[in-house]
Amino acid sequence: AQKVTQAQTEISVVEKEDVTLDCVYETRDTTYYLFWYKQPPSGELVFLIRRNSFDEQNEISGRYSWNFQKSTSSFNFTITASQVVDSAVYFCALSELTGTASKLTFGTGTRLQVTL
CA distance 98 to 101: 5
Q: How far is the CB of 20 from other proteins (least distance, A)?
A: 19
Does 98 bind other proteins (CB under 8 A)? Our answer is yes
Does 57 bind other proteins (CB under 8 A)? Our answer is no
CA distance 30 to 53: 7
Q: In the complex with other proteins, which residue's Cβ is closer, 16 or 50?
A: 50
Cβ distance 2 to 25 under 8 Å?
A: yes
Q: How far is the CB of 63 from other proteins (least distance, A)?
A: 21
Does 64 bind other proteins (CB under 8 A)? Our answer is no
Phi, psi of 66, rounded to the nearest 5 degrees: -130, 140
- Binding other proteins (rule: CB under 8 A), the pick from 87, 107, 112, 114 is 107
Contact residues for other proteins, defined by CB under 8 A: 4, 32-33, 35, 37, 42-47, 50, 52, 91, 93, 95, 97-109
